Each structure stands twice: as C-alpha cells, then as structure tokens.
Structure 1
C-alpha cells in the first residue's frame, strides 16, 4: 500500500504524515475542526494516541514524549491553544530532543467556534516555525517536514490548518513509515528546567533558531514562486487562498510561502526589487502583510480583502477587481434552491432537552457553557444566556452573583455545565466557589453527566465508565465535590420530568451553593432506544406543548376526519425518552409496544 495514491481529508492526511514521519505519541482534546485527526491516528497501532482531559494536559503529555526523544504531536482547535498557552510559552524555550508538532485547527468564518482567532499570531508569539498547508497532500507532506525541521533547528513547530482543509478531501501519496527510535532522556538543567539563570540563555537560543529558520526559508522547497514572464505584479498567497487563486488564471506572478513564519527577508527584498506592486491574499488577520511591512516591503492586502470569513474564489476575484487587477466579468453566482432555515437541535432522546425545557419555563437567568448544551441559547429554547469558553460558567456565575449582591439584587442564578467540561476546566471553578463564600449567595449548578464529550463525536470523558464498562475512567463527580467541601450535591433523573422540576425549583428557591447532577447518558453515543410513543389524535387538543420541547420526531399534522392540526410522532425517529408524554396536559401521548401508531 506504500507510495500509492488515496483520497484523504486534511485531518487524515496529517495523521498519515505523522505515521510516515515515525511519530510515536499523539495527544489531543476533541474540538472541531481537528477532532477527526486523532481518531485517524488511532488507526496506526505503532502510535500511542489519547484524548486528554483538556488541551493543557494534552500538550504536556506530548512534551513528556518529546523530552524522551520521541516524535510527538498534539492537536487541538484554535481556542484550545489558549488553554495550553501556559506550558507552551515555556516549553518553546527548550531545545527539542524529539521532534515536536502542535497542530491547530483555525476556523475562518466560525463554522463551529465561538471566535475567529488567527493562530499564526500565537505561533510567532511562541517563537515557533509555522507551516500553513492548503490541501490534503500539503497537510501530509508539511507534517513529515515539520519533524525534520523541529529536530534540525531544535524548535517546536506549528502546523496551522483551517476548517476547510481539515474536512475537505484530496489526493495524497502514501509513503512508507520512517522509524525514529527515541534517544532517551538525559537530565540537563540547562535544557529542561526553565528557571533563571537557565532561561536567559534560552532567550538567545530562541532568537538564533528563528534566524536559522529564516535562512532556510530563502529557497525552502515548500516556498513556491510561480513567475509569469513580464509580470510587474506579485500576489502573495498561502493555504487554501493560494489554491483558490489558481482558478482565476491571472497574468501575475504568485509567491506561495508554505513556511509562513519566519519569512525570508532576503527573498522578499529580492522580490520587492522585481515587482512594481505586491498584494497579499490571506484569510483572517493580515499576518503575512504585516510581516512584509515590518521588513520594509511596500504591499497591499486587507484594504481589498476581509479580515473575517473564508476567501473563496469569488471573494478573491471581487477583491482583485476592486484593486484594479481584474477586469473580466464577475464570476457567476451559484444558483441555490431556497432552503428552510433550521437551527441545530438536540438529538431525539437527548437528556439535555428536559433540563432546558424546565429552565425556560422557570424564566431564570442561566449561565451556559461549551458542549451540546450550548444549543440551548438558540431557538426554540433560548434558555441559556451566556456562552464564553470551556468551564467559564463557574467563574462567571460567581462574579455575577457577587456583583448582584453588592447591588442589592437578590435574584438567583443557575449555571449549566457538562461532565466533559467539568473535568476539562470546571473543577477549578468549583473549588473557587469556596473562596469568600457568602451563605446568602443563591447559585444552583446543574452538571449534565451524560458520559461523553458528545458535540465532537462522542469521545470519552472522566465519567464515561459509569455508563460503559469499556471506558477506563469512572470518576464520581459527587464524591469529588463533597471532598472539595461542597456538601449540597444530589443526583436527579431529568427523565423523571416532574420530580426533576420540583428538585430544581426547590434548590433555586434557597440560598447557598446547590449542585444537581443530571444522570441520563447520551442517547446517541450509547444507542439508547426504548419503545416509541405515539399521539392519540382524539385526545390531543393541539396545544403544542410537546412540540415546544423541540424534539425532532414531533410535528403537527392533519389527521383524516379531524379538522384541527394535532401533534404526531415519527415512530422511526422516536427513541422513547418519554418527555413529551410527561409534559402533555391531557395524556394524549402514549407508549407503544407495536413500534408505530
């Protein structure tokens, strides 16, 4: 199967590149667009792969392997790097014993993210070399190259890959694996203990290796110059923007730096002398544009292209037309059939649904967090009112409560967090609740213990073993909180709708810290299906109470011989969670053993 062509996503291509480069350990925390990357690495038995409890721990796990001399890779979505910055900014001072690669999945256009940050900036901030692929083949080859560069220049490398490259497919040439036996770890405080006085020397070493990389970049093979004879305009483009630019067949030269940091100043000054006009085409921030301007290269860029969103071919053409570099007619708009707008929703049988249905009806202020339950901010629930980052709900709830009390506002606050997020970064927030507590502070925390990191594909978390004997972690959240010193912690079954509602109302009504652990597992991950429910149209009054739970199988329809629209349940979609039957005011919804109405 070696040296054969195959079609891979960018994520799969990076995994393949890591395998071919002799990679030994890969770690990650699941997050789109890079979650598939580690799933693909797991297909190679020669590599140890794990989803760690958060990005910081994932990075530290890979650091340990690199210290031993193994080639190691850590992957995460762009905001995950923020979580890992503390060890990253110190680790990048050390020389590499084993090649090290940080893969960050940027998300131009925010298809699945709460912000749109350009991690090329963080890569430069951390003194890392940065490779920026624009296709699956480049993703694989740049991954292989990253480890050679990491060891040759004793530097950690960053592979910045965007959502469309992660998920898009392309032809990749698979090659044989090159084994790289770890050299082992030899204690050396000047290399691996980053405290003064050792760090002073490492600052100079970081500067020197970037200078050495810059010299390498002058004629590095991934930095491509496509010259057009007689052209006086140079376009600088990288990543997917470069490939989209190719579709326009322009009469201009193009420079494509695959190594986007550091750029070769010597090369760019030569190009400056060869062209009258230089224009940079890049997604998100003007990173390359700013680098060129810092070198003294007069160039254009973001005055013609947006700082946000993706640069599709049509968008590039529009920018070039406004810049006076394109005179051909506008590219034809794609004809699209009108599509009914539908926001994302919880799966049929999702255990989060009854929780937010109750919260919405209670009309309380809810601090949200990151996970499937983030969708509670959207219609039809709109039952959560803040959404910032993993685990942020704890600190936000406490901070808002303190401000409310100082302002004489006695209203309660409710906070919702998933079990995966609890283990990721929620435990520290819970510990902080015990600092300067006021028994009058009314905060109720709901932990949705569904046993999976569901939004990113069902990866395991610290409590998955509660629902699946094959998972090797089964931490008792209640015992952890009790040990911390939080006493008012109870389990509650959210599919016992009325009982859960009563417990929640009781806890919200009293001051102090209350924690409710909702106990139902993810229906999708654990393939939970009970006999389905059906609607008796002769009893149904058409009140739509069941419809408002926003469960996918439920809709209004016309029954034969009945003029008024009545509720109905698709038996093929219903997994028998019973929430609709419990909220029905007239008991028109019943469970069947027949598998249909």
Structure 2
C-alpha cells in the first residue's frame, strides 16, 4: 500500500531530493526556505550543510555537480543576488550531475526587504524554471528538475513561494534511487569559462533552451483542464491551488514549467476561447512572454502587481474581467485580525543596545537580522535597512557626504555575527582605515537567530560542542583595526559608557556585544519582580520593550504600576538597570521548572 503523509512544501523538497538520489545540499538560512536544509538532516546519505552565505552554498553545490553528484542549493529570493556571480557563469557550463537551485520567493514581503521575482533570472541565465502548485508537486519537481538538468545539461530553478513553503499537503512517499557518482573528469573546455571556451558556450545555451522548448509541451505537470466556458485562465504555482478553492467553471491551463513556456501549445489552446487571462503573483512574467508572441491575454490590469494572492483577490480580479463565479462567497468579510507588532524575545541581548542608542540620540545605520526590529516602536533607532552587510558601506558613504556638506556628526552602525561572516568581512576591510567618526556595534549573539538559530562561526565559543570557532575581535585586528572593545550589554552602565565614549572618538571604533541569544540557548536566570510600594510609575522599564513587562493596578492604588510576568521573564536584568528608584528586584528563588 502506498504511504502518504502530510508534509510542508519545504519538507517535500527535502524528501524529493532524497528520493531522487541527491548527494550534496547546501544553503544559507533565509525565510521561507530554512526548513529545507533542516529537514535534510534526517537523511544521513545526504551531505548537507549551512554555508557562510548563498554564494558559497551555490559553489559547494556546483562542485558536487562537477563531480557527477546530484546537488541542490536552497535560498530565499534575495540570496540569488548574492549567488548570481557564480550562477551566471555556471549556467554556461554543460551540467554533469543534476543541479537544482531552489528559491523561495516572498510575495507580500512576509519576511523580506523586497519582493523580487526569481522567474526573471531564468531568461537572464538561460535556464529552466519549474513551479509547483502543492507539496506533492514540489517533491515530484525535484526529481524532474534533476533529470532535466542531466538530460539537457542545464541548471534548473525550482521556484517556491512563502505560502507553498509552509503549507501542508498529502505527499506520496517512494523509495530512493541510487545514482553512481563518476567523479570529476578533467575537461577544460567544459569547466573553464575563459573567453575562448565561454564564447562557444553562448551558442550551446541557445541550443539547450531550444531543445527544452521542444520538451516543454510534453512536461507532465503542465496540465490542461477543459470545461464548457469561453474563458481560459493560464496560471502556475500556488495560485492554481487557490483558484481551485473557488471551484470556477472555467478552463485552466496550469503550467509546471514556467520557462521556457510551451508557446505553440498555448497558442493552439487559446484559439478556442474569447477571453484568455494570465493569473500570476508579482510581475507579469508569463503575460509579457505571451504578448511578445502575439497571444492576446490580460493579466496585471486586473490582478495585483504586488503582495500575496488570496481567494478574494483572485475573485475580484476575475470579476473585473467579467468572469463571475457562482456560489462563491468572500472569505475575508467581517474578520477582524488584531495587529501584532513584531518584538524582540524575552531576554534578547539586542534590547539594552537599542535602549542605550535611543537615549544617546544616535544616528544608527541598520542591517539585516533580528536587530532589524530596532526600526520599529518603541525603539525606532535604526534609520536604514537595505541588505546583508550594507550598513558598513552605507555608513562610510554617509560619513563622507556629511563631511563634504560640513554636517559632521557621529554615526553608528549595527551588524550581527551571522551577517558579519555572510557579507560584512569585505565591508570591514574597506572601512578599516576610515578617519571619520564611525562606531560599529557587532551584535555577536552566537547564532543566526532570525531564521531559527542556525550556527555561525562563533557559536562553538559559547556551546563548546564544536572544536571550530572564530574570534571576531581577532579577525578585525588582523584587518588593522585597533580600537576594538568587547562589552557585556547586560552590564548596562558599562555598555552605555563604552558606547557613548566611542561615539565621541574620531576614526573607527568597534564594539562587540557578547551576550548570546536567550531563546536559542534557553538562557534563564531567577526572574525579576516589581515592588509596587517603590515603583513611581515612570515607565522607564516599559521603554526597554520586554514582553513580560506591562502596567497594572495593584490593590487600591489610583494609578498603574509596572508589572513583570514571572512565567515569561528570563532574568536578563535590563529593566532593573534602567529603573531610577530600584523598584525592580531579582527573585531570591529560581523559576519553577528551570
């Protein structure tokens, strides 16, 4: 009997790679694709690892493919920007072992700083893109993609979206196949992309895409559902699954391979309909391609160009096109969902740093990580947020512009340990000799916390579970940076003194905040409580924005005093150190269950 289990899209990708005889997998953590590599850890036959950044992860998978092993790299959409340098050259190479680039796009920016559409990389890189509609197809397309990669000697992009990554569906499990690994066979014309060889590969890429175009109409996950209707909807991915929820009485051509498109087949089918609608999230990738081939369609003039599609937005778009769905009611009517502002966890070591910087009225250049939440209330201390490691270049350019405009002021940048190794090293090399008044705070919490607590090169320093560890201070000293100080940010007064003094110095000052992530390392100390008879209701503790702290009435008191929920407090002490009257005290006993 065939076994079926509920899997998320991410878990299905991992399972599909194992079933397809995958050998090498690498990734850099980024939502929505983090769970793929986490899920691969259960398959001991697969060599899977977190890499320093997406570029390195892609290069590891390239090496596996060169040696004839089926290889996969996974990342979020903005990670493709980091990996595009080797990818745009690798796509010229005749792929040996099947190669899959799994990308999680993020319509609606659930956890991202932009909303780019990875499908456009396929045209740029002359490679195939598959787009699954549900977890079963996600698993199947991993195997399909690896086989297409080996047959046509091309890298294949498997494009997911946030909703598919995290949605669950029934997936049929199969036994794994075993693929022989030949090993690397020397062939400079194939693997060395210098002009004499690379020029010839331009023609190979064109021939390769033409060959895949002939295969595309036969791809089994391109599916045509014909009904008695004068309307055809062409769609792909999770949009198709949401369209089915509306049970529309219209014909649907669901694409599994979105590049190259089966143009001739679409032309043939489209002739049967008065109205042809393209439904796709983000940019009009399919729509534009069809219009260039003189296929009359509508799409982005009725559907949103941004954000994640819902059944309601799909219905509204179809209604704009004159397609009315019977027995279909809006799902979002009268549903009040309370807003929940993202906030740092209880005991987060970033909290004292933001509190100090806000009180100092510092101009702070931000970066990507948990500390991006410093942009939001109540801190609102980070003033820029662009991309991984960008704070180091931005602050340097800003300082030079201020100098030119005679508006010299102290500037501060923040960067985490994960981002430091991902994209910060080159920035530090460039800024090492600056003469401007710049302070950089490295928030070394020993983990890539924003994406679930994956390790960084400094993790072992705290856990002592691994022998390999790097010292950020030692690395920076090797760059020629001399003014480096390490602080425990939970020693609030000293941390404040060090930061404020650094802001007054000319030249570069680096402060490394050394407290580890309280959530990832399960750090708990005896909790704090408020002595309501001392508390003056000044709300200084509220300003640190820690989840356990609120205001409440004690007995018959006229006004509210501070209150700390002991079940949430992890004993970080930040609130007690900002209290001006010492009303917040540590419990003499540890929390029950510690």
TM-score interval for Structure 1 and Structure 2 normalised by the shorter chain? over 0.9
Partner of 1:412: 410
Q: 1:334-365 deviations in whole A, cap 9, x for unaligned?
A: 35664543311111111000000000111110
In the alignment, what sits opposite 1:429?
A: 427
1:593 Cα deviation after fit: 2.1
**Paired residue for 1:551?**
546
In structure 1, which of residues 395, 398, 401 is the aligned counterpart of residue 399 of structure 2? 401
> Is 2:562 the counterpart of 1:564?
no
Q: 1:472 to 1:170 in 2, by over 3 A?
A: farther
Say which SS state the counterpart of residue 218 (structure 2) adopts. coil
Deviation per CA, 1:268-321: give whole Å up to 9, x if none.
Answer: 221233333211011111011011112221111111001111221111111111
Aligned to 2:213: 214
Who is 2:500 aligned against?
505
Q: Deviations over 1:531-577 (max 9, x none)?
A: 11111000010101001100011111111132221111111111111
Q: Deviations over 1:399-432 (max 9, x none)?
A: 0000000111111100000000000000100001
Q: Counterpart in 2 of 1:68?
A: 67
**Displacement after TM superposition at 1:3 (Å):** 3.8
Verify the 8 A CA contact 1:9 1:169 in the aligned structure 2.
yes
Structure 1 residues 251 and 328: CA distance shift in structure 2, 3 A = closer
Q: How far does the alpha carbon of each residue in 1:367-411 deviate from its partner, in whole angstroms, 9 at most, with x for none?
A: 000000000000011011100000000000000000000111111
1:347: which partner in 2?
345
Residue among 263, 266, 279 paired with 2:264: 266
* CA–CA separation in structure 2 for the residues paired with 1:211 and 1:176: 33
1:137-536 correspondence to structure 2 within 5 Å = 137-229=136-228, 231-326=229-324, 328=326, 331-334=329-332, 338-434=336-432, 437=434, 439=435, 441-536=436-531
Does the 8 Å CA contact 1:11/1:34 hold for their aligned counterparts? yes
Aligned 8 A contact 1:460 1:471 in 2: no
Q: Provide the C-alpha distance between the structure 1 equivalents of 2:230 and 2:563, rounded to a whole number of angstroms.
A: 67
Is the 1:26–1:47 Cα contact (8 Å) retained in structure 2? yes
| Matched position secondary structure for 1:149 | helix
CA distance in 1, matches of 2:591, 2:149: 60
Tell me what 2:569 maps to. Answer: 574
Aligned-residue Cα RMSD (Å) equals 1.4
Paired residue secondary structure (2:450):
coil
Aligned: 1:39 with 2:38: yes
* Corresponding residue for residue 4 of structure 1: 3
Contact 2:311/2:331 (<8 A) preserved: no
Answer whether contact 2:526 2:591 (CA < 8 A) is retained: no
Distance 2:551 2:333 in 1: 32
The worse-fitting range, judged by mean Cα deviation, of 332-341 and 475-484 is 332-341
Cα displacement (A) at 1:249: 2.8
Q: TM-score, normalised by structure 2?
A: 0.98
In 2, are the aligned partners of 1:4 and 1:173 still within 8 Å (CA)?
A: yes
- Alpha-carbon contact 2:312-2:332 (below 8 Å) kept: no
Q: Does 1:90 align with 2:85?
A: no
Query: Cα distance, 1:100 vs. partner?
Result: 0.1
Unaligned runs of 5+ in 2: none
CA distance in 2, matches of 1:489, 1:527: 29
SS in 1 for 2:195: coil
Greater mean deviation of Cα atoms: 571-580 or 263-272: 263-272
Shift of 1:240: 1.1
Query: Cα deviations across residues 25-84 of structure 1 (Å, max 9, x unaligned)?
Result: 100000000001100011100101001010000000100000000000000000000000
1:103 is aligned to 102
1:125 alignment partner in structure 2: 124
CA distance in 2, matches of 1:389, 1:587: 40
* C-alpha distance in structure 1 between counterparts of 2:507 and 2:553, whole Å: 49
CA deviation digits over 1:481-518, x for unaligned, max 9? 11111111110110000000001110101110000000
Deviation at 1:200, TM superposition (A): 1.1
Q: Which residue does the alignment assign to 2:52?
A: 53
Residues 1:275 and 1:596: Cα distance change in structure 2 (over 3 Å): closer
**What are structure 1's unaligned runs of at least 5 residues?**
none
> Is this contact kept in 1: 2:432–2:508, CA < 8 A?
no
Instruction: Summarize the Cα distance change of 1:146–1:81 in structure 2 as closer, same or farther, 3 Å threshold.
Output: same
Instruction: Give the C-alpha shift of residue 174 in structure 1.
Output: 0.6
Q: 1:3 to 1:203 in 2, by over 3 A?
A: farther
2:487–2:513 Cα contact (<8 Å) kept: yes
Q: Is the 8 A contact 1:534 1:596 kept in 2?
A: no
Q: Distance in 2 between matches of 1:514 and 1:361?
A: 19
Change (3 A) 1:303 1:364: same
In structure 1, what is the equivalent of residue 15 of structure 2? 16
1:136 corresponding residue in structure 2 = 135
CA–CA distance in 1 between the matches of 2:371 and 2:534?
Answer: 33
What is the alpha-carbon distance in structure 1 between the residues aligned to residue 100 and residue 235 of structure 2?
Answer: 23
Change (3 A) 1:340 1:304: closer
Cα contact 1:464–1:473 (8 A) shared by 2:
no
Offset at residue 595 of structure 1 (A):
4.2
Per mean C-alpha deviation after superposition, the further-off stretch among 286-295 and 470-479 is 470-479
